[in-house]
Structure 1
């Protein structure tokens, strides 16, 4: 088993410096801290959690709040959770996973106890009722998501407004002037979940700028619900030639339904999605998509927590730039 002294020797610093990097009790210069953290990773050093807790009055646990709702795409949520757990272990922390829909009660339970040193909150709503209590508690926390008012908070998220705009730019650039959005389940919008609302705002704003007509329709996902949503879209906008899908459960049903109706993708209709890479690449038609950077979001949230616990970073909003990958599902609008 690698010891703290061996880490210190490898990094060329004193054992006390390594201890300070781990505990965050003293300010250490960025180059020295990075050298120590690199040695910890290379040697595979794992601090003794019990000893660290006694020495620092910390639990060395991060509470991760992941409400697992039936209207959300759970694989993405769990991919973020795994990235958080993996990143936390690299810094000597364990993760306490809270999956119930407790809302403020969960924040109150963590803030009022020594269960965890910090919190990471997922499934953030624009007017999230957990946030007043979080601000009041003063407990170290990071949001994976962006509320309407992010003042005094540290947030990590994909820039969903820019994502929506990027999707419209892609289809409008191909000549599509009638675009339909197959959105998340209605309950996601009823809760005013941040990522869904911000995507819709970005789409609508860029549509106005490009002179593109957009129809947005929520969808429960699954074959029957997607069939109903698609029928409604073509009833309201028969000239629709471009689709943006922000609902993983609707991707394959939509492609199958279009095929059954004799609408070829992308010759007659272009389809693109905001989804994980594996959903886009494993679809029956490889989808042009903007990827959900789940692992990067999880990793950055842990880095922010560790930095805040060490007193190194101020509150900030860290938005990841969207990346669009063009595949076989989009092409020029039909003449």
Structure 2
């Protein structure tokens, strides 16, 4: 098995990004650290690809980009595929092929980004503390993140403003007179592993609740019928009982509506329902759902455009957060 930059970093007792910087010279590294990395390179027989330091401008173009789309447990594959389809179509518009990677490990990043396999990388499902970010930043390969890590370094990012989306949902319900709101969110593991969108959404609904005087309680669901019914029951058993539910969990949405129907909670007469999801998900429910829409196709397309710009010329780091918009389909009402 080929030796990777991650192997060198482990042997030298440093991070992947530090090892990359020591080899590329992009940042000042202390002499003792540089010597440890050099010794690890010699010991392991690592052969970094020449030209990585000036990859975007010096290497021959491959006309191929990599797309890292990890398929983690609990992820809604249908939504992921909306991003993937948009990225592939936009890449085709630019005359580019797409190499799809479904792993999320640092070795995968190094394998495709340190050589001459691709011109750049688009990364999906970015975590708040994502080791892939440091690896890409250190290697110097043009890359665009769909998501917002805590420390993006020199990498550009695009995503929906999920914190703003969370605030908008609570504000919409507060304007309708709701004072107690439940949130059916993604499973707890999403927030525990630092899934950027889940963390920011939770922060948005919590902050808006505190600002508007709305009691907001969040319960995670695994997206199954049983798990979602349990989450709904837990929320409705609270005191005071919520008069509205926000659903940020695409697989769970139809099960939320089914559970409310089974309990005799008419939507929206007794319980208002508002989702954060792609438009097609909100529209195809038994009750069309008012939603802050996730524009997956637009975000995917713009991510490719941003990457192409950075492959063709040196561009400054950019963070684009798409402003959330709410589409009213009649599933929320005044209290």
TM-score range, shorter chain: 0.7 to 0.9
Q: Using the TM superposition, give the Cα deviation of residue 190 of structure 1 relative to its aligned residue in structure 2, in angstroms.
A: 1.7
Normalized against structure 2, the TM-score is what?
0.81
Q: Residue 93 in 1 paired to residue 125 in 2?
A: no
| Aligned residue number for residue 44 of structure 1 | none
> Structure 1: which 5+ residue stretches go unaligned?
1-54
| Aligned residue number for residue 152 of structure 1 | 154
Q: Residue 275 in 1 paired to residue 282 in 2?
A: no
1:131, 1:97 → 2: CA distance? 18
| Aligned residue number for residue 4 of structure 2 | none
The answer on whether the counterparts of 2:288 and 2:330 sit within 8 Å (CA) in structure 1 is: yes
2:251, 2:270 → 1: CA distance? 23
The answer on whether the counterparts of 1:150 and 1:317 sit within 8 Å (CA) in structure 2 is: no
1:170, 1:151 → 2: CA distance? 35
What is the root-mean-square deviation in Å for CA atoms of aligned residues? 1.3
Q: Using the TM superposition, give the Cα deviation of residue 150 of structure 1 relative to its aligned residue in structure 2, in angstroms.
A: 2.6
1:173, 1:265 → 2: CA distance? 18
Number of residue-to-residue matches in the alignment:
278
Q: Using the TM superposition, give the Cα deviation of residue 100 of structure 1 relative to its aligned residue in structure 2, in angstroms.
A: 2.4
- DSSP-derived class of the 1:183 partner: strand
1:94, 1:170 → 2: CA distance? 42
1:119, 1:241 → 2: CA distance? 44
Q: Residue 244 in 1 paired to residue 253 in 2?
A: no
1:278, 1:130 → 2: CA distance? 31
| Aligned residue number for residue 288 of structure 1 | 290
Q: Using the TM superposition, give the Cα deviation of residue 312 of structure 1 relative to its aligned residue in structure 2, in angstroms.
A: 5.2
1:137 alignment partner, one of 139, 148, 156: 139
| Aligned residue number for residue 214 of structure 2 | 212
Structure 1 outlier segments of 4+, above 4 Å: none
| Aligned residue number for residue 42 of structure 1 | none
- DSSP-derived class of the 1:125 partner: coil
Query: CA offsets per residue over residues 104-162 of structure 1, 9 Å max, x none?
Result: 11111112221111011110000011111111101110000100123322001001011
Q: Residue 317 in 1 paired to residue 319 in 2?
A: yes
1:331, 1:282 → 2: CA distance? 20
The answer on whether the counterparts of 2:222 and 2:228 sit within 8 Å (CA) in structure 1 is: yes
1:165, 1:225 → 2: CA distance? 25
Q: Residue 256 in 1 paired to residue 255 in 2?
A: no
